Structure 1
Amino acid sequence: MQQTETQIRPVGLRSTNGNGHPSAVDHTVTVPSPPDVANGRVAAAAQRLIPSEVFARTTWQRRYAAQLRLTDTLVVCMGVVLAQYIRFGTPGTAAGDFKYLVPGFSVVFIVVWLFALAAFHTRSPRVIGSGIEEYRRVIAASFWTFGAIAIVTLLLKVDVVRGYLAVALPAGILGLLLSRLFWRGHMARKRAEGGYQTAVLAIGEPDAVQNLANELTQNALDGYRVVGVGVPGYGPPRGERITVNGTDIPIIGGETQVLEAIRTCGADTVAIAGTEHFGVQGIRRLIWDLEPLGVDLVVSTGVMDVALSRLVMRPIAGLPLLHIEKPQYLGAQRFQKRAFDICFASAALIVTLPLLIGTAIAIKIGSRGPIFYSSERIGIDGKPFSMTKFRTMVKDADKQLASLLNANESDGLLFKIRDDPRITSVGRFLRRFSIDEMPQFLNVLRGEMSVVGPRPPLRREVEAYDCDLVRRLLVKPGVTGLWQVSGRSDLSWERSVRLDLSYVDNWSMTQDVLLIAKTLRAVFRRSGAY
């Protein structure tokens, strides 16, 4: 009994057997039931789980999809009507056959566009609210529509629609993306209030299932709520719970209690963390069991921080194998990134030149000391360089560091104080809007930094790196990055390192552009800026 407790406690199990002591846990693997018994169990469970309960769990998804369908229809109609008006004027003013051809063509255009949005599953529960993938499908469906229309009109030699398409394409795509952005904001607000949730029943070994539950519930805006945990071989439920991110989650028992737990926990998704215990036949049987219940099944591969663009599912000999492409930070990709850095940094410095001059004057008037502050950072391949920023602290602030170490609020190698007494009044304003970091674009032009990349580390941080963290030095540090848009100074050391490593492994130009856009939003939100 004591040995069992030692195995379970590290993952947060807590007994509720009434006397305050952990109860014994049975790790005996349950022998699978014969097919007729299993089928009878499924039939009984399906009868207990009435269709109205399954329907109620996903009502918000259907309502959200209906809202998207309505706004998509309005946006497409408005885009096509706008294009028709700009190209041909008000209805009825077109001459000859165009008087009837143009409205008919507009109707066909609208129908084809809406059909493409549906065919590309832009309103699928799998992608709604997911961001990049949702936007990608909307854009792909729109370009497919215009490609099809262009080919047909070329074959029919209908030349009058060129200007028509030139207006409808950008107007429609922009309208669709803005409407999706609006509804994503609506979803985020609902999820922050506890609505629009996906109820998950997680199954797996204690360590694996706790990691899965932790990842699913780490960000409330992702919309996942783990309502129960199943441990293979656990046996019937004993009232025990695990604690994940401050939330107590009941252990529903072993894998044989899954069907009954779906009803009691209200789950609409079953997530498996590791398939070793189930095997091929067990997973197949579980898929068949969940099918009549209308419950989704997802399987965690155990692979973390790998971008979707690097994942390819390849069915080989009947087995779905996940192929992971290699990172793309070498060769031609590095040249492409360097060209982008030079163009962006040059444009940023030219556009913000009046702001930079005003900032320099304010710093000089506000306190004694130099305008710029330079500190050593470690760049690509471990090469040191001098990083330039606007000075935001009093002169000789570095000499006061030793007396402030006890007030450090960071949990790792970083030194962070929310109300650092060394920061000047001007410096506090500059940090709030990240203006102090603008001179780093000079480092970008010198080739020491990149516009987007991992956080620039100090020498003392690099000296404490283990083998995994050295991987951060494979790319240039960035003026902004995943750390900048994910909390900045509010991030824990572990989270900051994980984001940096994720960026190194998953770099792409598309990701860089998106991170720059998110940086602007993070700057104006001012979260974690101190």
Structure 2
Amino acid sequence: MFMTLTAGHGSEQTDAWLERRRPAKFPRRSWASPEPFVRRATEHNSGDDALRALPWVRSATAYQRITVGLDALVAGTGVAVAALLGGADRGSVLLLGAVCAVALPAIVGLMRGYERHNMGDGPDEFQVVLRASVLIAGLVMALAYLTPLTAPREVVLVGVPVVAATACAARYVHRRFLHAKRNRGQAMMRTIVVGDTASVTDVVDDLSLAPYHGYLVIGTCLSDVVPDAVPAVPVPTLGALADVPQVVSDYAVSVVVVAGNALSGQALRRLSWALRRAGAELVVAPGLVEVAQERVSVHPTAGLSLLRLEIEPPRRRMLAKAVMDRALGLCALAVLAPVILTAALAVRLTSPGPAFYRQTRVGVDGRDFTIWKLRSMYRDADRRRAELLARSDGDGLLFKMAHDPRVTPVGRVLRRFSLDELPQFFNVVRGDMSLVGPRPPLREEVLAYHDAVHQRLRVKPGITGLWQVSGRSDLPWDEAIRLDLRYVDNWSVTMDLMILWKTFRAVVTGAGAY
């Protein structure tokens, strides 16, 4: 099921009339003019090659080159080692390694995996590597069939999967370095936000909360600015809407974000012409909230640009999630059974009561189920909960205490490493829960939900989830709900795998656990 949104369509004469009559700070020039913009000397630029010399441009180019080099090194080395261990002759080993070292970057490049907006942020670059690895496996099999080259099956069955995993791991580490630089204000894209004051303020606030995306907002151009009265926005107002191309040139801006509905239709088209000459990218913030890229597609229809928004996940994705949950759940139970049994014995020997704790929770579509955990509290914990509500460290409906007196000494160790959650893999295998999803709530919590929070019950609850890997108990209730709703709207198998990886990292460090 899809929802279709129009991305704007207006009268060309009306847009041109508004463009000519809007207030301007600098000498007015038509956005459709073929003349280049005259860059005035400011502290932000110097000379015609200023944009190429800016630190963010150098960093972006270096990031691309290093990523290409990592892909080539990983592909060549991984395939060559697999061929060598499979018994291939030296010539075949060298040739296979060289071919794959060239082929993987070439395929990723053809899939647009090295473009700046696809790198350093989001799951796209990992997905491209995985798809390219499948084609590398096909290439190796074709070479083995069509040429005298010796290509042992170990190359396809072991070498290519190892290459895919290593390339993704290398990109992840490389991305962490990039995000660290962006958190220090480096390797950022100089950005201005244009539109009406209210819309611009919202976008500026949102971008400032996530510097790892790489947008450094240096100013705004407002549609509702008037002489001698500059509206209050979080960053400097550099001009009016008509001044956008000149501001881009003067302040060495690389990205222009259009917020709200101040520009649409032909006016937006004409702005794109001006920015092409000024050397900046155009980004439109359509006002959609918490929507992942995979859910949106553009369909040109009758001269309109229609945004089609996916509002229900396709059945194939739901089937893939179900298969992954059951398969990984069974594997986890088999591998972790000794750990669970040892922990259960420790619980049973150190405090009176059963080793396992059962509780009724609310699952998908509001259905009750019984959740299983290793008991980490004394037997009277449920009765004492009401006495401790006033001392809760959590806000909202979530009850949490950093130093909960109901927790046993062994229970503190289990909670520190999230071992008390391990029996929930049984709930995953049964189908009551998923590996990844919102936290399974109590019935009394659900009764206190307001309208939007009920959306958490649209998917199965999970052992881990987006809010758990984003701060766990350290997050306020409203932020936890926001992250849960983001997951419900945008979940995918790739997102689940990323959350599982981040969960492992959070468990090892113990972040937010008590």
2 CA distance for matches of 1:184 and 1:37? 37
Q: Is the 8 A contact 1:235 1:253 kept in 2?
A: no
List alignment gaps of at least 5 residues for structure 1.
Answer: 1-28, 92-98, 244-248
Deviations 1:95-124 (A, max 9, x none): xxxx6x886676555444443233223222
1:134 maps to 2:117: no
Q: Is the 8 A contact 1:206 1:231 kept in 2?
A: yes
2 CA distance for matches of 1:510 and 1:287? 33
1:314 maps to 2:311: no
Determine the structure 2 residue equivalent to 1:382: 366
Q: Is the 8 A contact 2:32 2:270 kept in 1?
A: no
1:160 maps to 2:150: yes
Segment of structure 1 superposing worse, 34-43 or 222-231: 34-43
Q: How does 1:373-452 map to 2 (within 5 A)?
A: 373-452=357-436
Identity %: 35
1 CA distance for matches of 2:380 and 2:203? 47
Q: Is the 8 A contact 2:439 2:463 kept in 1?
A: yes
For 1:54, the aligned partner's letter is L
Q: Is the 8 A contact 1:236 1:254 kept in 2?
A: no
Q: CA deviation at 1:59?
A: 1.4
Deviations 1:456-505 (A, max 9, x none): 11222211223332222222211112222222112222222222223333
Segment of structure 1 superposing worse, 404-413 or 331-340: 331-340
1 CA distance for matches of 2:199 and 2:33? 29
2 CA distance for matches of 1:367 and 1:37? 76
Determine the structure 1 residue equivalent to 2:164: 173
Deviations 1:357-410 (A, max 9, x none): 221232234444443333332122222233222222333223333443333333
Determine the structure 1 residue equivalent to 2:64: 65
For 2:506, the aligned partner's letter is A
SS of match in other structure, 1:58: helix
1 CA distance for matches of 2:505 and 2:273? 45
1 CA distance for matches of 2:333 and 2:86? 40
Q: Is the 8 A contact 1:237 1:253 kept in 2?
A: no
Report the TM-score, using the length of structure 1 for normalisation.
Answer: 0.80
Q: CA deviation at 1:528?
A: 1.7
SS of match in other structure, 1:374: strand
SS of match in other structure, 1:298: strand
Q: Is the 8 A contact 2:357 2:372 kept in 1?
A: yes
Q: How does 1:174-253 map to 2 (within 5 A)?
A: 174-235=165-226, 241-243=232-234, 249-253=235-239
For 1:43, the aligned partner's letter is F
Q: Is the 8 A contact 1:377 1:387 kept in 2?
A: yes
Q: Is the 8 A contact 1:312 1:322 kept in 2?
A: yes
- Distance of aligned partners of 1:71 and 1:236 in 2 relative to their CA distance in 1, 3 Å threshold: farther
| Aligned partner (choices 98, 112, 121) of residue 112 of structure 2 | 121
Q: CA deviation at 1:173?
A: 3.0
Segment of structure 1 superposing worse, 286-295 or 46-55: 46-55
List alignment gaps of at least 5 residues for structure 2.
Answer: 1-20
- Distance of aligned partners of 1:332 and 1:421 in 2 relative to their CA distance in 1, 3 Å threshold: same
Q: CA deviation at 1:83?
A: 5.2
Determine the structure 2 residue equivalent to 1:4: none
| Aligned partner (choices 22, 37, 41) of residue 30 of structure 1 | 22
CA RMSD of aligned residues (A): 3.3
Q: CA deviation at 1:90?
A: 6.3
Q: Is the 8 A contact 1:327 1:506 kept in 2?
A: no
Q: Is the 8 A contact 1:448 1:476 kept in 2?
A: yes
2 CA distance for matches of 1:471 and 1:153? 52
For 1:53, the aligned partner's letter is A
1:354 maps to 2:344: no
Q: CA deviation at 1:180?
A: 1.5
For 2:334, the aligned partner's letter is I
2 CA distance for matches of 1:270 and 1:37? 14
Q: Is the 8 A contact 2:249 2:278 kept in 1?
A: no
Determine the structure 1 residue equivalent to 2:284: 299
Q: Is the 8 A contact 2:31 2:271 kept in 1?
A: no
1:52 maps to 2:49: yes
Q: CA deviation at 1:61?
A: 0.3
Q: Size of the alignment, in residue pairs?
A: 487
2 CA distance for matches of 1:354 and 1:190? 42
Higher normalized contact order (CA 8 Å, seq sep 6+, divided by chain length): 2
